Structure formats: structure tokens, C-alpha cells
Structure 1
Amino acid sequence: MDRTESTISGSSQAALIDHDIAHITRAMHVSLRGDFGGPILPAAYWRKRLTTLVDSGQLSSAQLRKIDSLLLQLDRFASTPLPEWERFAPAPSAPFKPARPVKKLKSV
């Protein structure tokens, strides 16, 4: 579905923006927290999504406040050091290295 300004009424546009903000609010923290391989989606992705909404120029003051709050949360996330158990995790692209040498089996 093509969402252009000419085909969406003002109230529908506001509802779509509200849905986007709600989705970002729910998904951003989980995505940034990620798993043992690191964030699922980086902070730059979420920042771009939020700035795209701001650049649309169709936001209410409540929507602007919520987006500003999310941007501040991204700043806080970027400035907070990782917990100790995540700082020492291997990089996602690093190959697994066993703790001791692996014995080769003799072929028969």
C-alpha cells in the first residue's frame, strides 16, 4: 500500500504516526538489548526511523514529546557502558575457538 500525503486524511496520518511511535516504543529496547550476538537492530536504525517521523512535519505536540523522549533514550543507551557479561562476549563475526585443542579422529 502506497502511503502518500495526498491519499491519507489528516486523522489517518496522525493514527499511522501514533502506531509507528507505539511500535518503536515497544520494539526499540528489545532490539537494542539484542542477544548474545549484540543488538538486533542498531541505534542508528531507530534514530533514522524517529527522525523520519519528525521530518514529516505532521506531528502533534504529544507526538513530538514522545519522539523526543525516545531520542533521549537512544542517547542514554549509546552513552551507557555495556554490562560486564556483555563486554566480554565474542564479536558476532568471531569464529568459535575451543578452550583446548580438538583431537583428530583416526580414519579407518
Structure 2
Amino acid sequence: MERTLTALTGSTQTALIDQDIAHIWRVMRPSLHGDLAGPILPPTYWRKRLHQLLDTGNLSHAQLCGVDSLLLQLDEFEASVPPAWNELAPAAAALPQPPHLATASRHI
């Protein structure tokens, strides 16, 4: 669902932009770090959301600074080296052998 901010009155539009920026501040970083499966929402999604805000053309100085800071965070996230736990482990090391099978193989 895409919102069109250009058809709203000035104060309503400003309030919605403030809410969007605050929302993105709260959820972008946790969403990017995600879980073991990777990001919940990719950087391209957040970049698109931020550029949509910039495209309204009616951002205050404080709003521009907020959006700019979020874009810099995205740049930093994309430039960072992924944590070591994101790399796949060798198949033999991935699943340890159950104890009852390990002892049975010694008796054979």
C-alpha cells in the first residue's frame, strides 16, 4: 500500500512525514539485522521509502537531516562486512553426531 503525501494539507503532510521518519528510525536497523535467515526487509526497501519522502519536496530542515542520517546508516550497513556467523559452516561441522551413534560406531 503506497501513500501519496502530495495530496494532503501542509500540517497533515508534515505530521505524516514526521511519523514516517520516526517509524523508519525505530524499525530500519532491527529489520536490516534480521535473524539467522538474513534481513527482514532489504536496504533497497528502506532506500525506496526514504526517497519517496524526499520526493515530496516539502521536507523541513530537521526532516531532511533525519532522512539524510537514515540514508547514511543504509550506506554504512551495505558497506560493512557481514558477521562471521553468516558464512556457511562445513557440512560435517554443522550437525554433531548424536552420542548413541558415536558410541555405536566405536563398537563395530
Smaller-chain TM-score bracket: 0.7 to 0.9
Task: Tell me what 2:29 maps to.
Answer: 29
State the Cα deviation string for residues 17-58 of structure 1 (Å, max 9, x = none): 000000001010010000110000000000000001001101
Which amino acid in 2 is paired with 1:33?
Answer: H
Which amino acid in 2 is paired with 1:76?
Answer: E
Residue pair 2:32, 2:41 contacting (<8 A) in 1 also:
yes
Gaps of 5+ in 1: 90-96, 101-108
Task: Tell me what 2:50 maps to.
Answer: 50
Of all paired residues, the percent bearing the same amino acid is: 54
Listed as ranges, the matches of 1:1-80 within 5 Å are 3=4, 5-6=6-7, 8-80=8-80
Structure 1 residue 3 displacement after superposition: 5.0
Which amino acid in 1 is paired with 2:49?
Answer: R
Which amino acid in 2 is paired with 1:57?
Answer: G
CA distance in 1, matches of 2:72, 2:88: 27
Cα root mean square deviation, aligned? 2.0
Residue pair 2:31, 2:40 contacting (<8 A) in 1 also:
yes
TM-score by length of 2: 0.76
Structure 1 residue 88 displacement after superposition: 3.0
Q: What is the total number of aligned residue pairs between the two structures?
A: 91
**The structure with more radius of gyration:** 2
CA distance in 2, matches of 1:4, 1:53: 8
TM-score by length of 1: 0.76
